[in-house]
Amino acid sequence: MGWIIGHMETGLLVKPGDVDDLVGALQLLCQRPDLRERMAEAGRKRFNAVFRIDQVADRISSLYLEVQGL
């Protein structure tokens, strides 16, 4: 998941099943509107750089060609 979400860059990662960790992350987001805004903007930029449909389609097409040995 770290390649999609960078902790404290494009989001907050918490330990699965760790309620205290989740509560701490939510409290941080409530207390820091500047952090929310910065991470939201960074997330939008990352999405546009990595996950645009044309880029994903190109990667899938390249993968198919590679698998076919072309």
Instruction: Indicate whether 59 belongs to any domain.
Output: yes
* Contact status, residue 42 vs residue 9, Cβ threshold 8 Å: yes
pTM comes to 0.68
Instruction: Indicate whether 35 belongs to any domain.
Output: yes
Residue 57's domain spans which residues? Answer: 19-68
CB count, 10 Å around CB of 12?
19
* Contact status, residue 13 vs residue 21, Cβ threshold 8 Å: no
DSSP of 3-63: TT--BTTTB----TT-HHHHHHHHHHHHH-HHHHHHHHHHHHHHHHHH--HHHHHHHHHHH
Q: What is the pLDDT of residues 33-64, one digit of tens each?
A: 999 999 999 999 998 888 888 888 988 999 99
Number of domain units in the chain? 1
Q: What is the pLDDT of residues 11-40, one digit of tens each?
A: 999 999 999 999 999 999 999 999 999 999
